[in-house]
Amino acid sequence: MAIDLARETALKILYDVSENSAYSNIAVNKHLESRELREIDRAFATELAYGTVKWLIEIDYIIDKFSSVKTKKLSPWIKNILRLGIYQLLHTDKIPVSAACNTSVELAKRYGHQASSKFVNAVLRNISRSSKNIPYPDKSDIVHYLSIVYSHPKELVDCWLKLFGAEFTESLLESNNQVPDFSVRVNTLKTNRKALIEALEQEGYKAAEGRYLEEAVILDNPSSITKLDAFQRGEFTVQDESSMLSSVVLEPAEGQLAIDVCSAPGGKATHIAQLMKNKGTVLARDIHPHKLKLIESNAARLGIDIIKTELMDAVKLDENLVGKADRVLVDAPCTGLGIIRKKPDIKYSRNLAEQKAIVELQRKILANAAKYVKPGGYLVYSTCTIMPEENLENLKAFLEENRDYRLVSFKEQLPENLKAETAQEGYIQLYPNINKTDGFFISKLVRLSDR
């Protein structure tokens, strides 16, 4: 039996993630580029890799329940072959049990030995027979139960239970394991939503209006986006609606100077330029030179020529810009715990352990960026996390130190169907389980006067 290339590719991605500490999205890109795969196989390999990473805690728990050899003692290749097989057995509904088991056995023959293949076959067949009766932890230990059933680390589950309570936390965990909408932003400098939807449908895609914003479109089962004629013509760019909202809340206008202090890969900077009708200046800064090239490339494709990129560390104050900007956006580095649906390996990283240092970094960036705003100008602070320490608590600390700033309502900038009562107070927190967007925080401040 020939090795299934899609599954073998997924296996190599998993090996890279688990043994070489690679980020899943980087490992996916690396292994898909290095192999001659049909488009359908590329999509299948990606689904298998991301799906297995998403359910890793549950899968390893199940291995330990059904295998005579515990997960920690398995060879890396056999461990990941079992993980891949279990994902197919428990979390896909179109893959026959025989296909999941037989392809795993073939992989074990190539990456292990004859005894390994028999072992893999026995474990997977046993799990398939017991799939409706997996012995999950008892609910009396709510942290352990939620951790295994929804495949999130105990530390994270415990933290969220204390913050949000049991009902909300379980809803959040469940949502984190769902596939998010694939949203794109219409480039209104070149087209409109209706025309873009028609163009995408002509290229064979299912497209629908976004949930909240006029410039948002949701694509169904997208692949090879960059090869589309509409993409090449610069008629859209990939961006979540929550991310689009931060630029809308900023309220940029024609002829202004807007600064995006942590800009790469440029989604918000190009949106700001679009809202400014490509008139004025958008200063897009980042600490990584290669990421500035991404911004420049995106801007060129979208037909935007008012973006000026600069290599700059946002924790360093640029004296030349003090009091010069009409609008400043701080989309700060964060733990990323609002985008687990898109990057499942985020939940396994040391985010909580590193949060204190991240908060300090955010506060330094925000303090510097605030100095660039003119009196009467707006400062928007946003993150893709749901942690209060990085969001509202940062704002409170900032306002204590900066009496010339206050939070300002942006209720009028939000679509009517986005229920966010706190927008009146100058901030909103979006959640995937409530808003069906990334977990995202947005706040808006106005500078009152010089001090």
Backbone φ and ψ for 209, nearest 5 degrees, come out as -65, 150
What pLDDT score was predicted for residue 159?
96
Q: Give pTM, 2 decimals.
A: 0.93
Question: Residue 441: helix, strand or coil by DSSP?
Answer: strand
384: annotated active-site residue: yes
DSSP-assigned letter for residue 131: G
Q: Which residues, other chains included, contact 49 with Cβ-Cβ below 8 Å and sequence gap of 6+?
A: 9, 10, 13, 14, 17, 24, 27, 28
Query: Which pLDDT value is given to residue 35?
Result: 66
Element (H, E) at 194: helix 193-202
Domains, the chain, ordered by start? 5-133 (1.10.940.10), 142-174 (no CATH), 182-238 (3.30.70.1170), 241-447 (3.40.50.150)
Cβ atoms of 30 and 42 closer than 8 Å: no
Contact (CB, 8 A) for 153 and 147: yes
Q: Is pLDDT at 42 greater than 90 in this prediction?
A: no
pLDDT of 329 > 90? The answer is: yes
Residue 299 makes CB contacts below 8 A (sequence gap 6+) with 266, 269, 270, 273, 305, 307
pLDDT of residue 21: 85
Average pLDDT value over all residues in the chain: 93
Write down the pLDDT at residue 1: 57
CB within 8 Å of 85: residues ≥ 6 apart:
100, 101, 103, 104, 120, 124
Contact 236, 271 (CB under 8 A): no
pLDDT in tens, 362-417: 999 999 999 999 999 999 999 999 999 999 999 999 999 999 999 999 999 999 89
Q: Is the pLDDT of residue 2 over 70?
A: no
pLDDT single digits (tens) 154-184:
999 999 999 999 999 999 999 999 999 999 9
